Structure 1
Amino acid sequence: MIKTPDDYLNKPLDKETFSEGVTKLIKRLSYTKSLDECFKFYIEDYQVGFVIPKLAEQLLNYPEVFIIQNRRCILNPDLKTFQERTNSVERILLDLKSKNVLKSLDGWRDEHYFVRQSFNSEPLMSLERAAVHMFGIKAYGCHINGYIKKDGEYLIWIARRSKTKQTYPHMLDNFVAGGISAGLGIIECAKKELEEEAGLPLELCSKLKSVDAISYCFENDMGIHMEGEFVFDLKLPIDFEPKNQDGEVDCFYLMNINQVKNAILSDEFKLNSAIVTLNFLMRKSLVNPDEPLNYYQILENIHKPGL
C-alpha cells in the first residue's frame, strides 16, 4: 500500500540545518565508545570480531568451547572443522537463550551468517544471525535504492518496516534490503529480496545496477555492528507500484528529494539505511560537496576498512 509521507511535506530544510542533521547521523554511525572494553574474538589465528563484555561473562561458563584470557575470546582450537565450530557455538547459544540472560537472543531467526576473516576468505563457521552483533562479527547485506525520474526530477521509494519485525520495527528503510545469509550469493540475495519485499517481476530485476559498497562500525544495545553493504540502484517504471509479499513491509512511500532529506535526518529511519540513502543522494549529485559541510567526513565513515 502506498501512503503519503505527510510528516515530511513542505518542511523547509536549508543547507545549515541539513549539515547539522547529517553530522548527528554520522556521529551515531561511528559511535564505538565501548569497543576498547570488548574481547577480541579469535578463530585459529584470525581475529574475526569483538565479543561484548556481557556475553564474555556468560561464555566463561563454557570453557570447553571458549577460552577467555588477556582480553581475548578464543574459540577452542580443538574444534577444527566448520561443522564442529558451528554446532558447538549453536549449542551454547541455545542454552543461553533458554536461560533468557541475553536480550539479543530473543530475536532468534534460525538464519546463519558466515564467520570469516574477510568476505572472500573461506568460512570458518556460521553463526545464528541474532548473535552476530554480540560477537562483533562483520555482517554483510544488500541494499537497493528504488527510484523513478519524472519530469527530470528524482523520486525515491522508501519502505516502512512491519511492526512485527524482530529488529527496528516500523522504521523507515530502503526500497529493499536484506542480510546475506550463509551460502547465498550477492546478486542472488538482492533478487530474492526484491521479489519477497517488493513483488518485483523478473524482467525488472535484470535492470539492477551494482554501484557501491559501504562499510562502517557502530554500537548499540545489541552489540558491535561491523557491517558491509553491497549497494544497488534500480530505476523503476513510473507506473510501478511495489507490493510486499512476505509481510516484512507495512507500506511504501514515493518521496521527492526534499522529503527524503528530511526523512533520513529523522529518528524514524533505520540508521544504516539512512546512510545508504545519503550515499545515493551524493552519487547522484543531489547533494554536493558544499552541502553538507562535512561531506568528506561522511565518505570516511562509510568506507571504513575491516578489522
Structure 2
Amino acid sequence: MSFLDRIRACHRWRADDYLPFLLDGDPRPLGWVTPAFAARLRDFPEVFDVTEAAVCLAPRLGDFESRSAALKAVLEQLHGAGEIPAWRGEDYGICRRWDDEVIFKMERGAVPLFGVPAYGIHVNGFVRTPEGPRLWVGRRSRHKALAPGKLDHLVAGGQPYGLSLMENVVKEAAEEASVPEDLARRARPVGALGYLCARPEGQRNDVLFVYDLELPADFVPTPNDDEVEEFFLWPMEKILERLKDSDDFKFNVALVNLDFALRHGVLTPDAEPGYQAIAEGLQGRLTG
C-alpha cells in the first residue's frame, strides 16, 4: 500500500449507508447511524424520534442532564441485551467541536454506534539522534477488544469527559508507559487530525489531538497496565516501511506517523513523489 492508501482508509464511508443523527431540529448531523441501529432505537420512543430520513434525540430532552440520563438508561439496556459488547465504563463528552459546549455525555463503547464526534490524544515520544528522530512504538495488548496486538504510539487514548487534554496526556502517559508527570507535561500540542470512516465497531468520527514529546536518550518506557505489551525505539524509516508493507499499525496511527514525518522533514517534497497529496490528505482534502 502507499501512504495515501493509509490516509484513504481513514476516510472510507458512504453517507447513503447511514441516517443522520440530529438534535433539537438542527439540520446539521451530529452523528450517523445505520438503518439497522435506527430500527432498534424505535424501541425507545421517549428518547428518539425515528423516521425513514433521520434519527433525532427527542426535543423534550432539552439540556445536558436530561439528555445524558436518558441516553444512559437506553445504553445500559442495550448493553444488558448484549448489543454493546465493547462497554468501557467511561463517558465521552459529546460536542460538535472541541471548544463547543458539551451537549451530553455518553458511554464510550456506544459512541461509534451513533457516529458522533469523539476526541483523543496521540503522543509522539521521540528521541533526537544524529541520523534523525527515532520514535517509541508500543505494541497493544493482544487482549484488547480493539486492534489487539497492533503497533501504536508511546501514548494514545480517548478523551474522557471531565478531563483537560493535558490531564489526559499525563494520565495515559503514566498508565501506558510509566512516564513521570513532570516529563509528560513537556509534551507540546502540534495539531489535530480528523477523519470519518466506517469501522467494524461502527462509524468513527474522530479528532486526534497530536503532541510531540522529546524524551531523554536514557529514558525507557515500561508498561504500567494491561493495555501495552512492549515498546520499541525505531527510526522513522523503519516505521514508514512498516506502514507501506504491512498492516502492523493500528489504522489511525498512520495519520499521526505521517504527520510527524512531514513536520520533521523525514518525508520531503523533493524526495517523496506523493508529498503534496499526503499533506492535503492529512487535512481531509483527498482527491482521486
What pairs with 1:220-231 in structure 2 (closer than 5 Å)?
Answer: 220-231=199-210
Aligned equivalent of 1:23: 4
Corresponding residue of 2:275:
295
1:219 matched to which residue of 2? 198
* 2:176 aligned counterpart, secondary structure: helix
Q: Is residue 81 from structure 1 mapped to residue 60 from structure 2 by the alignment?
A: no
Q: Which runs of structure 2 are paired with 1:33-182 in the superposition (5 Å)?
A: 33=14, 35-46=15-26, 47-100=29-82, 102=83, 105-182=84-161
Query: Would you say 1:279 and 2:259 are equivalent positions?
Result: yes
Residue deviations 1:100-158 (CA, integer Å, cap 9, x gap): 2x3xx211001111112221111111111111111011111110001112234321100
- Aligned amino acid, residue 162 of structure 1: S
Q: What letter corresponds to residue 269 of structure 1 in structure 2?
A: F
C-alpha change, 1:291 and 1:57, in structure 2 (3 Å) is farther
- Which residue number in structure 1 is paired with residue 249 of structure 2? 269
Q: Is the 8 A contact 2:267 2:275 kept in 1?
A: no
| More displaced 10-residue stretch of structure 1: 210-219 or 150-159 | 150-159
Aligned AA for 2:56?
I
Contact persistence 2:193–2:255 (CA under 8 A):
no
Offset at residue 298 of structure 1 (A): 2.6
Give a deviation string over 1:8-31, Cα, whole Å, max 9, x none: xxxxxxxxxxxx521321221111
Instruction: Answer 1 or 2: higher relative contact order, Cα 8 Å, separation at least 6.
Output: 1
Q: Please state whether the residue corresponding to 1:263 is helix, strand or coil.
A: helix
What amino acid sits opposite 1:154 in the alignment? P
Offset, 1:264? 2.2
> Which residue of structure 2 lines up, in the alignment, with residue 192 of structure 1?
171
Quote the Cα distance in structure 1 between the aligned partners of 2:272 and 2:42.
Answer: 47
Q: Distance in 2 between matches of 1:278 and 1:59?
A: 39
Contact 1:145 1:176 in 2 (8 A): yes
SS in 1 for 2:6: helix
Cα distance in 2 for partners of 1:297, 1:216 equals: 16
Give the Cα separation in 1 of the matches to 2:157 and 2:172.
6
Alpha-carbon distance in structure 1 between the residues aligned to 2:117 and 2:270:
32
Q: Distance in 1 between matches of 2:206 and 2:222?
A: 28
Q: Cα gap change, 1:291/1:70 in structure 2, threshold over 3 Å: closer, same or farther?
A: farther
| Distance across 2 between alignment mates of 1:74 and 1:256 | 48
Question: How far apart are residue 44 of structure 1 and its match?
Answer: 1.5
Pair 56,198 (structure 1): closer, same or farther in 2 beyond 3 Å: same
Paired with 2:281 and 2:203, the residues of 1 have a C-alpha distance of 15
Deviations 1:2-61 (A, max 9, x none): xxxxxxxxxxxxxxxxxx52132122111113x222111112134311112221121011
TM-score relative to the length of structure 1 = 0.87
Describe the shift of the 1:291–1:66 C-alpha distance in structure 2 as closer, same or farther (beyond 3 A): farther
Question: Please, which runs of 5 or more residues in structure 1 have no aligned partner?
Answer: 1-19
Distance 1:108-1:280 versus aligned 2 partners, 3 A rule: same
State, as a whole percentage, how many aligned pairs show the same letter: 32
Higher alpha-carbon deviation: 134-143 or 288-297: 288-297
